[in-house]
Amino acid sequence: MSDGILGKVVVITGASSGLGEAAARLLAAQGARLVLAARRAERLQSLIKALTADGGQALAVTTDVADRGQVQALVDGAVKAFGRVDVMLNNAGVMPQSLLERLKVDEWDRMIDVNIKGVLYGIAAALPVMKAQSSGHFINVSSVAGHRVGPGSTVYAATKFAVRALSEGLRQEVKPYNIRTTVISPGAVATELPDSVSDPDAAARIEKFYADVAIPASSFARAVKFAIEQPEDVDINEILFRPTRQDY
């Protein structure tokens, strides 16, 4: 176990699969106390059962991050259960890519609601708690798409560029409160994220790309672990990683 993680209270959104689930499993093994959030209650409960069977401390809170009240209830539940919040991992995201000319405006709205507002709601809920503690750590999940834009990824990339901007502004503002901030930008990682792509052309392209280059979600979990376990005077602000074979 890592002394830098042991006993820390970590809230993870989008924890029912993929990046969030992988982070939860690794952090539980390191002795973190977890509060896991996602919309799929049955998947969350199955994960909680597995983690607690292995001796971990974890609870589930069914949460849609696009609903500010639900995110507030998530953080309130963490404080009620464990007395504090040490890490807020704003991980929930969706990626229904398509060309702008397809005019999938409902999907644009959903990406804005989940990928941007969901992060903001996580910050709004946890920041007062961390200020009162004079400690804490926000980890916000961007993407390689938050560093470069390609055809079909325009709106998704815009939301992930926004996550990086929010994270940098947050970093500057929370210095008086001893709060750390990290933005993690993964490349192609094998998760259910491509399943949200409804456009047939984009779906076929992404399916082939992920089949060729994607790496396991454990790669993301290790990045989270690295950021959290640093000494309190070390603030890892940004991690950008890709599969070795990914060329952009």
* Catalytic residue status for 210: no
Which one of the listed residues 121, 156, 177, 248 is annotated catalytic? 156
CA atoms within 13 A on the CB side of 176: 3
Degrees, nearest 5: CA angle 7-11-13? 150
103 φ/ψ sector (left φ>0, alpha ψ -120 to 50, else beta): left
Distances (CA, A) of 97 to 18, 69, 145, 209, 220: 18, 28, 11, 13, 22
Spatial separation of the C-alpha atoms in residues 61 and 52, rounded to whole Å: 15
> What is the signed CA dihedral for 204, 205, 206, 212, rounded to 10 degrees?
110
Residue with structure tokens 């280059």? 213
> What is the signed CA dihedral for 199, 200, 205, 207, rounded to 10 degrees?
100
Count of Cβ atoms closer than 10 Å to residue 211 Cβ: 11
Cβ-based burial of 176 (10 A; exposed 0-12, middle 13-18, buried ≥19): exposed
Spatial separation of the C-alpha atoms in residues 83 and 46, rounded to whole Å: 25
Q: What are phi and psi of 162, to 5 degrees?
A: -60, -40
Residues labelled as active-site residues: 156
